[in-house]
Amino acid sequence: MGVGIVNLDEYPVPDLVIEVSNTSLSDDLGRKRLLYEDLQVAEYWVIDIQNIKVIAFAIENGGSKRIAESQVLTGLKLDILTEALQRSRNTNHTEVGRWLMQQFKRKLRGVSSFNK
């Protein structure tokens, strides 16, 4: 998929929207967040490139609230994504991807052993 306008008459509103913000942080946290609230997107993330962090919101009842764990991607703690972003500044992306996959596997092992 490329960059462009999604025709919401043709496609359903997405459950998750992610904005990568380098110079548009105030717009992404303000005007765009209000737009996604109006569209009733379930979850909205802003990747703050300058400060190397993920800012995430759950959207419901016409408003939004900050979250630390995804409700759309159940069980995903967003601080792990922030850590991956921080690691990517000093480590090659293959290594960061490997580290991130190890974190996901640990999480899955913890869930499967808990459910036994």
% pLDDT > 70, the chain: 88
Instruction: Tell me, yes or no, whether 2 lies in a domain.
Output: no
Instruction: Tell me, yes or no, whether 9 lies in a domain.
Output: no
Instruction: Tell me, yes or no, whether 75 lies in a domain.
Output: yes
Q: What is the CA radius of gyration of the chain?
A: 16
Instruction: Tell me, yes or no, whether 49 lies in a domain.
Output: yes
Question: In the structure, what pLDDT confidence band is assigned to residue 9 with cuts at 50, 70 and 90?
Answer: confident
Residue 28 has pLDDT above 70, yes or no: yes
Residue 1 has pLDDT above 50, yes or no: no
Taking Cα atoms as reference points, which of 40, 33, 38 lies closest to residue 14?
40
> Which residues form the domain of 25?
16-114
pLDDT at 109: 63
Contact 58, 71 (CB under 8 A): yes
The token duo for 47 is 């990747």
pLDDT at 82: 92
Residue 113 has pLDDT above 60, yes or no: no
pLDDT (mean) for 25-41: 95
Counted domains in the chain: 1
pLDDT (mean) for 11-24: 93
Instruction: Tell me, yes or no, whether 4 lies in a domain.
Output: no
Compute the distance between CA of residue 66 and CA of residue 88 in angstroms, rounded to an integer.
24
pLDDT tens string 61-109:
989 999 999 999 888 899 999 999 999 989 998 999 999 898 888 776 6
Pairing relation of β-strands 43-48 and 16-21?
parallel
Instruction: Tell me, yes or no, whether 46 lies in a domain.
Output: yes
Query: What average pLDDT does the structure give for the chain?
Result: 87
Instruction: Tell me, yes or no, whether 106 lies in a domain.
Output: yes
Instruction: Tell me, yes or no, whether 10 lies in a domain.
Output: no
